[in-house]
Structure 1
Amino acid sequence: MKQQVVLAVDDLSVSFRVRGQDLQAIRHVSLALYDQEILALVGESGSGKSVLTKTFTGMLEDNGRITSGRIMYGDTCLSDLKRDREWDQIRGKGITTIFQDPMTSLDPIKTIGSQIAEVIIKHQQKSPAEAKAQAIELMTRTGIPDAAERYNAYPFEYSGGMRQRIVIAVALACHPRILICDEPTTALDVTIQAQILDLIKQLQREYHFSIIFITHDLGVVAAIADRIAVMYAGQIVELGTCDEIFYDPRHPYTWSLLSALPQLATAASGLYSIPGTPPSLFHDIEGDAFAPRNRYTLAADFKQEPPKFDVSPTHWAKTWLLDPRAPKVEKPALIRNLHARLVALTKSEMQISQKTGGPTSDE
């Protein structure tokens, strides 16, 4: 059965005007998000993950603009929307975002319950009494103990993990079609992180929305993502199913990201780090943007940008190593059989969290 596309990005480019120069933050990105899937965007800081998703909600900074391409959400061309009044039909009920730091999303002088209820009243046109009852139900669903009693608590009275659960409850109050999770677990310790990931996956199955999950850590999405898009220097350089990216990665940058997973560090080898720095996006990039940092680089990498090479019907990568004329190169030994190891580790962390109190252990 053909999957339904809920968001389609076609040849999108985004630039920012910075100190009199144009910075090309997104460079000709095409992408589809399917109904009820979890799509992970991974890459180093500055690779363009958050900028890309900000175009889906019209949240680019004032000095940013879409320079080419289009974004379709159903029959609506998001890249054509200009006014907040137009975006009000999309933000929240259509597409909503959970950010990394819940304290930047919550009003410190309003009670937790009232902030959830306000969203319910706005997006579902419920009465205050109905909104309060639904808010308490959402708090319970997201793992807040004694939700009715804690309805009138303030954000500072909650731990970081509990605040992140409240932000998830606020997002779900909108009944979104697409939920963007922008590094939602980065500030949490590993046990609470596992709980939040488990909660997001559970709620996605229950409410049937699609998720775009942004992270710099491939290990975070090993057990929850359906597909993974690897971003570097404003482009998607590899895209495939979760199994394909972990079992059969093809781009050297993906190899480097996988090799740098903290879970692979040992006392003898230490933690792998990718050499060099990403290129400046103030200038046009000739060839493969990753070439100067790539230990497997070819002469062609410095001359011409590689096209997409299909590995399977669901997997492609932009690297000259996939050209039939290129020499055969094996992925590093460090990352072989990686997916099974990471899934086992994530499940172990989730089991530990459940034994220590499940969703309420981050109070």
Structure 2
Amino acid sequence: MTKEENVILTARDIVVEFDVRDRVLTAIRGVSLDLIEGEVLALVGESGSGKSVLTKAFTGMLEDNGRVAQGSIDYRGQDLTALKSHKDWESIRGKKIATIFQDPMTSLDPIQTIGSQITEVITKHQGKTAAEAKELAIDYMKKVGIPEAEKRFSEYPFQYSGGMRQRIVIAIALACRPDVLICDEPTTALDVTIQAQIIELLKSLQKEYNFTTIFITHDLGVVASIADKVAVMYAGEIVEYGTVNEIFYQPHHPYTWSLLSSLPQLAEEDGELYSIPGTPPSLYSKVEGDAFALRSDYAMQIDFEERPPVFEISPTHWAKTWLLHEDAPKVEKPSIIADLHEKIRTKMAFTHLMSEEEGNV
């Protein structure tokens, strides 16, 4: 069996709805994807595009007013949409599919010591004794870069910096021994040098433990350094999917072009960044045609009338845009996103250098 055949999770035609003030908001609109074992899949897009909602459907963490209205989610032969209660989800959530959230203080109990929070997870998911759990907890703390782990085992979250708290959240996730690790914007609340350290930590742990990762972010610069595959989300659907190189250097959807054009590495000399005009469509109503049409400089009449199908670009790359139709006019991607490789490499080298100089925080 080849690596491409090692599918760990399959989502097909997922629709997620929320009841909001006597109205129905369709947050996810027919999403399908395959998660390949051992790979890092990045979900990228603006806030509100559906990235976090989609992964919450994988862990049964949708809010009480939300539901998977259509579709299937198959995890190793088990249909996750059939799980309804928290008890049903106990064998999956945390133990098989764990999540790291962007704000560690929402994940850590402020009145419990760091050590007790890690050992609690170890005893629950690994069945270890208290003494064994403490030893393992200290080992996990060391693995995620906590200095003087034995001493800091008995400290409280408020005694840790933001970067160190995020490392503890990662340690707790590792203690679950998950099959799939969902990283929901884990570096958003941190400054740029600490972001780089956390990214490097996640990369090294992923390589060591070989868990499958879904990395949620709006920062395409982060994606370039960590992902194998990228799914670009807009208005509750995936509009482009491919390998990280295909998405960065051969993008085809106008929305992907806009996201790449917004990269900080492409700022003008005066510091001005490109911004995408307009706002996403309301998801309370049915979206007609291409959801990005009203914000796109490349929209054609058909974009306002008919939803584009999937156009295959390569066996690993597809996009939903009428620009790929054989009868569409031929257009080139914006000149601003030419030569991305060199621009990103230069920026990442500078950030890495700054991270080394700062040292662990």
Mapping 1:91-130, distance limit 5 Å:
91-130=93-132
- For 1:138, the equivalent position in structure 2 comes to 140
The letter for the 2-side match of 1:48 is: G
Look up the equivalent residue of 2:98 and give its one-letter code. T
- 1:353 corresponds in structure 2 to 355
Instruction: Structure 2: give runs of 5+ residues left out of the alignment.
Output: none
The match for 2:63 is: 61
**Is 1:320 aligned to 2:322, yes or no?**
yes
1:260 partnered with 2:262 = yes
Aligned counterpart in structure 1 of residue 306 of structure 2, from 301, 304, 307: 304
Paired residues for 1:38-187 under 5 Å: 38-187=40-189
Aligned length: 359
Given that 1:121 and 1:128 are in contact with CA atoms closer than 8 Å, whether structure 2 keeps it comes out as yes
Partner of 1:232: 234
Query: Which aligned runs of 4 or more in structure 1 are off by greater than 3 angstroms?
Result: none
**Contact map agreement 2:83 2:89 (CA 8 A) in 1:** yes
SS in 2 for 1:55: helix
Residue by residue over 1:245-279, the C-alpha shift from the partner in whole angstroms, topping out at 9 and shown as x without a partner, is 00000000000011111221123471111000000
RMSD: 1.0
Report the Cα offset of residue 345 of structure 1: 2.0
Alignment partners' CA distance in 2, 1:268 and 1:117: 50
* SS class of match (1:270): coil
Q: CA deviation at 1:348?
A: 3.3
SS at 1:170 equivalent: helix
Q: Distance in 2 between matches of 1:279 and 1:22?
A: 15
Q: Percent of pairs identical after alignment? A: 64
Deviation at 1:337, TM superposition (A): 1.6
Pairwise CA distance, 1:351? 3.3
2:216 alignment counterpart? 214
Give per-residue Cα distances to partners, 1:74-107, cap 9 Å, x unaligned.
0110011011111000011200000000000000
When normalised by structure 1's length, the TM-score is 0.97
Shift of 1:352: 2.8
Instruction: Give the TM-score normalised by the residue count of structure 2.
Output: 0.98
- Tell me which residue corresponds to 1:247: 249
List per-residue Cα deviations over 1:315-360 (Å, max 9, x = no partner): 0000000001001110011111213421342243223312432xx2
